[in-house]
């Protein structure tokens, strides 16, 4: 029934391919959820284009437009509360979620990271930097990790991981594409677990 559906907000900064994979999964798997908001720190991004195509609300919220971090965090909490958001999905969101939001949605925020945490996580480890570091370290395996978000970068409880090989001659871009494909498979499965109370 429509009123049993959990209300999801997706946070993005870029292309939003994970957002698209999650959106498709909600529809095709008939998950008991509804994506109601796409929030971004950027005023224009691929994720916003997709959200608008789907008739989903978009919200640009940038810390730069607030005088203090607390004011920014309060605005984010208020925006999410006003929309009755149950769960938050970070899908290529390149900012740290304010502690006030983490505190208000405990164990209800998921993030996808393009490596096998706990390795290659933490501040500065995002996007292509992750794949560059994985190759430089001579790893033979990488992958995607979906985890719950707590106050520390990339440190929350791991929900699911998927692995891919690192092949000889891989550039960071080639590895990124292989990992991204894995992300699109793993993130919907992790969302399903979250909605089932198994995250």
How far apart are the C-alpha atoms of 183 and 18, rounded to whole Å?
A: 7
- Which range of residues in 3-11, 68-76, 122-130, 188-196 is near ligand GAR by CB under 6 A? 122-130
Encoding tokens for residue 37? 């908001």
Under the binding rule (CB under 6 A), the answer on residue 172 touching ligand GAR is no
User: Which helix (H) or strand (E) covers residue 19, if one does?
Assistant: helix 17-28
**Taking CB under 6 A as the rule, which mask of x and - marks residues 66-95 in contact with ligand GAR?**
-------------------------xx---
Q: Of 36-44, 54-62, 106-114, 156-164, which segment contacts ligand GAR by CB under 6 A? A: 106-114
23 binds ligand GAR (CB under 6 A): no
Rule CB under 6 A: is residue 26 a binding residue for ligand GAR? no
9 contacts ligand GAR (rule: CB under 6 A) = no
Q: In what order do the strands lie in the sheet with 87-90?
A: 57-60, 33-40, 6-12, 87-90, 109-113, 141-148, 158-165
Number of H helices, E strands in the chain: 6, 7
The nearer residue to ligand GAR, 105 or 120, going by C-beta atoms, is 120
Partnered with residue 147 across adjacent β-strands are: 111, 158
Judged on CB neighbours under 10 Å (0-12, 13-18, 19+), 117 is buried
Q: Which of 126, 143, 186, 199 binds ligand GAR (CB under 6 A)?
A: 126
- Total of residues contacting ligand GAR (CB under 6 A): 16
Selected binder of ligand GAR within 38, 98, 102, 114 (CB under 6 A): 114
Q: Residue 48: which of 6, 93, 82 has the closest Cα?
A: 93
| 130/106 Cα distance (integer angstroms) | 26
Distance separating the N- and C-terminal Cα atoms of the chain: 23
Which positions are catalytic? 113
Minimum distance, C-beta of residue 55 to ligand GAR, in the bound complex (Å): 20
**By CB under 6 A, residue 16 contacts ligand GAR:** yes
Binding site for ligand GAR (CB under 6 A): 12, 14-18, 91-92, 112-114, 126-127, 130, 180, 183
């Amino acid at each position: 029934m429509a009123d049993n559906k959990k209300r999801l907000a997706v946070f993005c900064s870029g292309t939003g391919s994970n957002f698209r994979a999650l959106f498709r999964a909600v529809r095709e798997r008939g998950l008991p959820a509804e994506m109601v908001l796409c929030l971004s720190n950027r005023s224009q991004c691929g994720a916003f284009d997709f959200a608008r195509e789907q008739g989903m609300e978009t919200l640009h919220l940038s810390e730069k437009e607030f005088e203090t971090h607390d004011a920014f965090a309060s605005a984010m909490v208020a925006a999410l509360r006003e929309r009755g958001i149950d769960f938050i999905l970070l899908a290529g969101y390149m900012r740290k979620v304010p502690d006030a939001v983490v505190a208000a949605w405990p164990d209800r925020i998921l993030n996808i990271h393009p490596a096998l945490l706990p390795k290659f996580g933490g501040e500065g480890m995002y996007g292509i930097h992750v794949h560059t570091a994985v190759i430089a370290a001579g790893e033979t395996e990488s992958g995607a990790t979906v985890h719950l978000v707590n106050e520390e970068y990339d440190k929350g409880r791991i929900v699911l991981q998927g692995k891919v090989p690192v092949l000889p001659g891989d550039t960071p871009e080639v590895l990124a594409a292989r990992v991204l494909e894995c992300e699109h498979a793993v993130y919907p499965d992790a969302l399903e677990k979250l909605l089932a109370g198994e995250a």
